[in-house]
Amino acid sequence: MGTNILIVDDDKDIRNLISVYLENEEMVTHKAGDAVEALKLLEQKEFDLIILDIMMPNMDGIE
């Protein structure tokens, strides 16, 4: 089983690009388009690393 990584960014292209690079290194990626979606995923899974965009609408990465 690979390293579980959560990618949180409101830009779908950026999420997908980061995911491709990490999956090529045999890491398991999960993607969220905003902080609310990320919080839901955090309730369901445990992640080794979170790549988090700070500037997002509604709830930013710092909140």
Structural domain boundaries in the chain: 4-52
The pLDDT of residue 59 is above 90: no
Do the Cβ atoms of 42 and 35 come closer than 8 Å? no
Do the Cβ atoms of 6 and 47 come closer than 8 Å? yes
Q: Is the pTM of this model over 0.85?
A: yes
4-52 maps to CATH 3.20.20.70: no
Counting every residue written for the chain, the total comes to 63
42 exposure class (CB count in 10 Å sphere: 0-12, 13-18, 19+): middle
Output the average pLDDT for the chain: 91
pLDDT at 1: 64
pLDDT band at 22 (very low <50, low <70, confident <90, very high): very high
HSE-up of 7 (CA within 13 Å, CB side)?
Answer: 20
pLDDT at 44: 96
Q: What is the pLDDT of residues 42-58, one digit of tens each?
A: 999 999 999 998 877 77
Token pair 């388009």 in the structure block, residue: 33
